[in-house]
Structures are given as structure tokens and as C-alpha cells.
Amino acid sequence: MHDALFQPISIGAIDCPNRIFMAPLTRGRAHVPGFVPTEMMQTYYRQRAGAGLIISEATGISVEGLGWPSAPGIWSAEQVEGWKPVTDAVHQADGRIVMQLWHMGRIVHPDFLGGEAPVSASATTAPGHAHTPTGRKDYEPARALSVEEIARVVEDYRKAAANAKEAGFDGVQLHGANGYLVDQFLRRSTNLREDEYGGSAQNRARFLDEVLGALVDVWGADRVGVRLSPNGETQGCDDPDPVETFGAAARVVEKHKLAFLELRQPGPEGTFGNTGVPQQDAHIRQLYSGPLVLNSDYGAADGAQDVASGRCDAVSFGRPFISNPDLPDRIRQDAEFAPNVNVPQSWYLPGAAGYIDYPTLAEQRAG
């Protein structure tokens, strides 16, 4: 019924058996202190290895860049060793997995930084509240990275990419979306710089360009992807001319000939509530010639329709994969999706409940 989703596709050097990708989902199950992957995470990812491609949960590239309780990192040897059994589990189940590399920028609360201010493109403050180990707290002002520090952050990305390779991943995806550091450089509301990293859309895309260059140096372009969110405000990050801004970003992605570009395209009821914001994928499709993956608020029918029509080459499903570890099987059989239980409480809390205890369709029918 949804045949378009079950056609194989090559994403650069990665051969995917279907076009039902697992979107990155922060779940907060790593060990603290240390932000090290746990045995439970091996089970979680192995259960979902039927996805055409798993994009891992956002993973911190450095202490400076990670501000989410119990999210994993990839800057230490201990973290690399913790990830190895996860990638092994996915591969043993005939799956494919790339790591999403994450620097949160101004979204990191000083509580994660020993009281130091977070960093960003410019000295701005995110709206709302941060999740910290001791509860919700207001975000605090970020300081602007110097040009020399920007070069150091690019090297942090390079080291993280090398660590991801050592950990056994099939590639990496740069998190350039959702109001985090790369997005903070891209958009005018958060990039107030007057040097070579600010001003024009091309200058604001310079950081994206340099980071992608570092990742490609490590992996080759055919195993590097990026996620962008070109539609509307997200975590206080916005731009008056998204066509110009994300057109410049798409040209950078095309320049590097990346394996894939994933766009977060929230619908009217999306997490960030971008109601009425025009979708930018058609414009970006004209500028980027590689595989395009669309994400957010998709069901099986509209996902299959967008792939069949050529609007995109694959669809990444997020929340449906939480409670449906066998999501591709359910779509193939046109079965009803299992609902998320205790959501959002179980999205980020520690423990197996709402994480690895969802039955497959076969287990459900067996009773």
C-alpha cells in the first residue's frame, strides 16, 4: 500500500533497504556523570534497526556543547567505548546508523559549564527555560565566540567525527537545526556579528561551511549529512528572509556534495508550532541535488505520497518510532501505530519504561 517507502535507496555510500528513516530523538538515558551510553541504549537502537537508516539521538561534541541531562556525548574515550556495543547491536540486526553531532550553543545552561556562560554566534539570550539536573531554570546570556574560538569549535567537531568513526557508526549528521549553535550562526536574530561570520547570508553560512568541511575531511562527503530547520522561529532563533538564509545554507550543502540533507518541516501541530509558515523544501530542492529527507508530523500515507511524488527521497519518523520499534513492519502491513504511553513523561526520564518496553506488532498479536 505504501510501496514508495519500501524502495531501496543509496544515501551516499550507505545502502538503505527502505526509505523509512528514524529521526534523531533525544531520550536522556546516558550515564551521568560522563554522558556515556548505557546497555539499555543497545537494546533501544537494536529494536529499531529495521529503519532504512537510524539517525542517532543528538550527541554532544564537547562539554561546552552539551546541556541536556543524561544525553550522550562523543568527546571522551569512555563515550567511544560506550557507543561501540550500540553500533554493533544495530549492525548485528542488519541495520545502519549515523551519529548526529550536536553543539547546543546558547541553549546550554551555566549549570553544565561550572557556572561559565554558554557560547554562541553573538551575545544573546534564549527565551524560556533550560532543563538542568536540578530542575528548570531560565536561560542565561551567552557570550560571542571569538574568531579564534570558532576555529577551536570546528576542531571539536572534527574530533567528534573521528570518535564517531572509531565507535563504529556508518557516518555522521551535523545538527544544524532547531535553534542550536549552527542555526544560531545562520539566522539574523541570533547572529549580530559584523565580521566574516556575520552580515550577509553567505557570511552567516560560513560556520556551517567550515564545520561540514571538517566532517568531510574525516568521513568523506558520501557519509556526511546535515539537518536544517528552515521554517519559522525555533527556540528564539528566527530570520526575516528564510529563503535567502537557507538558500545560502543549501548552496553550502551542495558545494560539499553531502550524502543527504534532512529538513525539519513542522506541520500546524508541530513541536515548535510553526503554523502558517511556508515550506522551504521546494526552493532548497532546486539548490541541492542530493537525497532530500523530510521530517516531522508524518504518517505512513503522506510520507509515501511525498516520496512517490518526488517531493523528497525519504521520510524520517520521530515520535512514531518511540512506541513502534518495528515501525516499517507496521507500515508494510498497514497496521495501526501503537500509541505513546506516559508521554511526554517517559521521553526523557531514566529507566526502561516508555523506552524499551514497547512490543512489536508480532508480540502484540501473540498476546
- Tell me, yes or no, if 298 is annotated catalytic: no
Active-site choice (180, 197, 288, 358):
180
Do the beta carbons of residue 211 and residue 157 sit within 8 Å?
yes
Do the beta carbons of residue 234 and residue 178 sit within 8 Å?
yes
Q: What does the DSSP assignment read for 10-38?
A: EETTEEESSSEEEPP-----SBTTTTB--
Do the beta carbons of residue 313 and residue 281 sit within 8 Å?
no
Contacts of 344 (CB under 8 A, 6+ apart): none
Q: Cell 529495521 sits at which residue?
A: 50
Do the beta carbons of residue 81 and residue 31 sit within 8 Å?
no
18 vs 53: CA distance, rounded Å: 8
331 vs 211: CA distance, rounded Å: 36
* Antiparallel, parallel or unpaired: β 224-228 and 260-264: parallel
> Facing residues of 359 across strands?
none
> Facing residues of 198 across strands?
none
What are the residue numbers of the active site? 180
